[in-house]
Amino acid sequence: MSKLVSIVLPVYNGERFLRESIESVLSQTYSNWELLILDDCSGDSTPEIAKAYAEKDSRIRYYRNEKNLQLPGNLNRGFSLARGEYLTWTSDDNRFRPEALERMAETLDHHPDAGFVFASCRIINAEGEEIEYIMVSQDSPKWIVGINTVGACFMYTRQVYEQIGDYDAELKLVEDFDYWQRICAVFRAVGIEDILYDYRWHDGALTSTMKKEVFRGNMEKMLRKNRPAFGRLSVHQYYCYIRGLDQCRQDAESNPYHLRYEAARLMNFLLYRVPGKVRRSLKKIRKGR
């Protein structure tokens, strides 16, 4: 029997795209799911939209917070109410592709040693027009120590949730990246190269309105906090890590990471990029024979 997938949908004044988000869940080829809509004190028609869907489908449950919890707190409340063996969350302005839940659940089923799976995404604008892609490879989990390679389409097991715990409310704007790092430092992660999600970028999106100072400050704090959990890093992993820290101080008057970043970039080029280029060249030569 298929495992129950819990989908948490945190929303605040999301009337513009909420129907699309919910419809993308209803269109899934995988039917054993529950959708928990967590309304963070919306002042628009979000409650009416959510309640209408909940009345039509018993798999959809609507909750309204008594006070505004903001994203990490809203996610934590949602997952505390979830009953599924597999867990994920989505946003009110994004959309799952129809096969998303099925593909991710099957991947976790077929990899019992893995606790986390994530897939490639297509980035769209407010009108649904394609902008670019967030592509995932099998190597993507390795670079999570410094680069958020997860994107917006993911799923993890209840064991992961019970061991990793809640999203960190002190790390606003990077609470998801922090969670992925905490997972990948302990559990095996699997990347799915196929595009299973539409991530919408528009003027009202949280990521397009975030304050750079807060984002970069919390990013630096997060990267340094989680670094010990990854143990010894490969040359390329260290490059990813120090590059992440360097980017946090890009516009600052002082950058204590820049010299180390330049050294790591050179080392990565010599030991990682050059051998890769040589292998690709040799492969072309062999094919030309």
Average pLDDT estimate for 148-172? 97
Average pLDDT over residues 139-147: 95
Q: What is the pLDDT of residues 41-98, one digit of tens each?
A: 999 999 999 999 999 999 999 999 999 999 999 999 999 999 999 999 999 999 999 9
Of 86, 121, 123, the residue nearest 102 (C-alpha)? 86
Q: Determine contact, residues 65/36, Cβ cutoff 8 Å.
A: no
Residue 133 binned pLDDT confidence (cut-offs 50, 70, 90): very high
Q: Render pLDDT for 47-62 as a digit per residue (tens, 0 to 9).
A: 999 999 999 999 999 9
Q: What is the mean pLDDT of the chain?
A: 93
What is the average per-residue pLDDT within 93-117?
Answer: 97
Higher pLDDT, 208 or 133: 133
**Domain residue ranges of the chain, discontinuous segments joined by +:** 5-213, 232-288
Q: Which residues of 46-64 are buried (b: 16+ CB within 10 A; e: fewer)?
A: bbebbeebbeeeebbbbee
Quote the strand ranges of the chain, DSSP E.
5-11, 33-39, 60-64, 86-89, 95-96, 114-124, 130-134, 154-157, 188-200
5-213 — its CATH code?
3.90.550.10
pLDDT at residue 21, as a whole number = 98
Q: How confident is the model at residue 146 (pLDDT cuts 50, 70, 90)?
A: very high
Per-residue DSSP letter, 169: T
**Using CA atoms, how far apart are residues 245 and 226, in angstroms rounded to an integer?**
12
| The pLDDT value given to residue 188 | 97
First to last CA, the chain: 51
